[in-house]
Copies of this chain bind each other. A is one copy, B any other.
Amino acid sequence: MNKKIKNRINIGLIGFGTIGSGVARFLLEKRGLLFKRTGIDFNLSLVCDKDLSSKRDVNLPKEILTRDFDKVVNDPAVDIVVELIGGIHPAKEIVMKALSKGKHVVTANKLLLAYAGDEIFKKAKVLNREIYFEASVGGGIPIIKAIREGMVGNRFSSIFGILNGTSNYILSNMSNQGSSFKAVLKEAQLKGYAEKDPSLDIKGLDSSHKLAILSLLAFEKRVDIKDIFVEGIEDISSFDIQYAKELGYVIKLLAIAKRYGNELEVRVHPTLLPSEYLLSSVSGVYNAIFIEADLVGKQLFYGQGAGKLPTASAVLNDIVDIGYKVICGNKIAKPVTPKDSEIKNIKKMDDVVTRYYAHFSAVDKPGVLANIADLLGRHDISIASVVQKERREAHIVPIVMLTHEAKESNMQAALSRINKLPAIKKKSVVIRMEK
């Protein structure tokens, strides 16, 4: 019997696109560095993609290339399957099959985890196989590791994340240049920071997938994507950005999770943040995650949230961590989803309490402000400050208010009545605030 500790780990990579080719390249280029640092020889043994003819910035020996993912998941020599094709199908089938065949899995696929995480984590647990996914949130920022291992003794109370680089790029540039959403989106698309169909990013969905993953780790709670309130940045105007700035705030697309005892609040929406906050200084395509927990207090993690190199970095971490596990005979079982969460309930958006920035467009005649204030008051919403500047469009004046804390359902009820006032000429804008 060979008693020598196995120190070579074979990696099967499925998905040889931008991220995949980065991972392949750095597995080759950094094989020596990784060996020096870990004592483990990480060997890229198979690479699968349906397209093997496109030019990549890494040259692989032909014999390790295949178009058939079954060849990868069935190969008994492969220890770790790295899934980088994205989307739900056939990524899910690949991951499930790989686990069945005794492989550990690394994936960057937040969509897959958000929609099929339950099933995947359960299967991995039953089979004592690992599924690692550092690259799914925050690109190269080791935020998953920080939450799972770097604050392992902490009870988390809140997470505030700038988790989508595209949206943050758009909002930052709207703020810096005073340009419109449409203009900056077009610019972002030209620069490759936004997809042709940018919906997942700008509508807040991508952030909600990532928030579900962070909530799972920090609150041990499997949050259904449908239970996360999501509002995108499409309706943010440069007017509101400038107004917020004058009032001492910036507008960020925030993914928010807050715990109140056994209840968790999870939401993604544009948010006014005081400009002096560290999160408010996070601009461009960068991501940041601000966390509060009982022992560490406040922490912030900042870095590139996407891109070939940062994502490859995160995938390498996962491969190395699993490598240690394989070498130790698969005895370490870090549960991703403990049996019971202290969270029993996801708060309904209607019950969320927060401050609001409200921007009403009203005809400039006596009594309008009083009408609005009255309707807000009737719904238990008190006004912290009001700014009404001189009219800009003919006869239409913008009235901007900051409210004290109010209940979302009250705000929506008041808003629907205010929008029906004859003096209101445009749909009112309401943006939530955080402190």
- Chain A residues engaging chain B, CB cutoff 8 angstroms: 5, 26, 30, 33-34, 36-39, 134, 139-142, 145-146, 149-155, 220, 276, 278, 281-282, 293-304, 307, 309-310, 312-313, 316-317, 320-321, 324, 327-329, 331-335, 338-340
Q: In chain B, what residue has the closest Cβ to A309?
A: B295
Contacts of A320 in B (CB 8 A): 149, 152-153
Q: In chain B, what residue has the closest Cβ to A29?
A: B153
Contacts of A339 in B (CB 8 A): 36
A-B contact pairs, 26 of them (CB 8 A): A33-B153, A36-B220, A36-B335, A37-B152, A39-B334, A139-B296, A145-B150, A146-B146, A149-B149, A149-B317, A149-B320, A150-B150, A150-B317, A153-B320, A154-B313, A278-B302, A281-B281, A293-B313, A295-B310, A298-B303, A300-B301, A301-B302, A327-B331, A328-B329, A328-B331, A329-B331
A338 and B145 form a contact (CB under 8 A)? no
Q: How many copies does the complex hold?
A: 2
Contacts of A333 in B (CB 8 A): 39
A40 to chain B, nearest CB (A): 10
Distance between Cα atoms of A5 and B333 in the complex (Å): 12
Distance between Cα atoms of A320 and B334 in the complex (Å): 11
Distance between Cα atoms of A320 and B281 in the complex (Å): 34
Q: In chain B, what residue has the closest Cβ to A311?
A: B295
A5 and B38 form a contact (CB under 8 A)? no
Contacts of A141 in B (CB 8 A): 296, 299
Known: A328-B328, A332-B328. A151 touches B142 (CB 8 A): yes
A69 to chain B, nearest CB (A): 24
A283 to chain B, nearest CB (A): 9
Distance between Cα atoms of A109 and B27 in the complex (Å): 35
A317 and B140 form a contact (CB under 8 A)? no
Q: In chain B, what residue has the closest Cβ to A327?
A: B331
Contacts of A299 in B (CB 8 A): 140-141, 301-304
Known: A140-B295, A295-B140, A301-B301. A152 touches B317 (CB 8 A): yes
Known: A140-B151, A146-B146. A304 touches B313 (CB 8 A): no
Distance between Cα atoms of A327 and B332 in the complex (Å): 7
**Sorted from nearest, which 6 A-B pairs have the closest CB atoms?**
A142-B150, A153-B316, A140-B296, A328-B328, A295-B313, A299-B303
Q: In chain B, what residue has the closest Cβ to A340?
A: B36
A324 to chain B, nearest CB (A): 5
A252 to chain B, nearest CB (A): 14
